[in-house]
Amino acid sequence: MEYNVINGELEVTLLKVTYVSTSSTVMVGEIKAISLFSAFEGPPEELIVGVTIPTLPSVIPADE
Partner 1 sequence: MTNRVSSVGHIQVTDSGSTTTLEIGDSEYITPLNHIIAVQREKAVFFQNEFNFRDYAIFFRPISQTVLNEDIRMTTTNKCSVISVLKIDIFAISVSGVVHIGSSETLRAESRIKNIRHLLRERPPML
**Contact between 48 and partner 1 per CB under 8 A:** yes
**Contact between 33 and partner 1 per CB under 8 A:** yes
Q: How far apart are CA 30 and CA 34, in angstroms?
A: 11
Q: Of the two residues 1 and 62, which places its CB atom closer to partner 1 in the complex?
A: 1
Q: Of the two residues 50 and 61, which places its CB atom closer to partner 1 in the complex?
A: 50
**Contact between 60 and partner 1 per CB under 8 A:** no
Q: How far apart are CA 38 and CA 21, in angstroms?
A: 12
For partner 1 (CB under 8 A), the number of binding residues is 48
Q: How far apart are CA 6 and CA 8, in angstroms?
A: 6
Half-sphere exposure of 12 (CA within 13 A, CB side): 5
Q: Which parts of this chain interact with partner 1 (CB under 8 A)? A: 1-44, 46-49
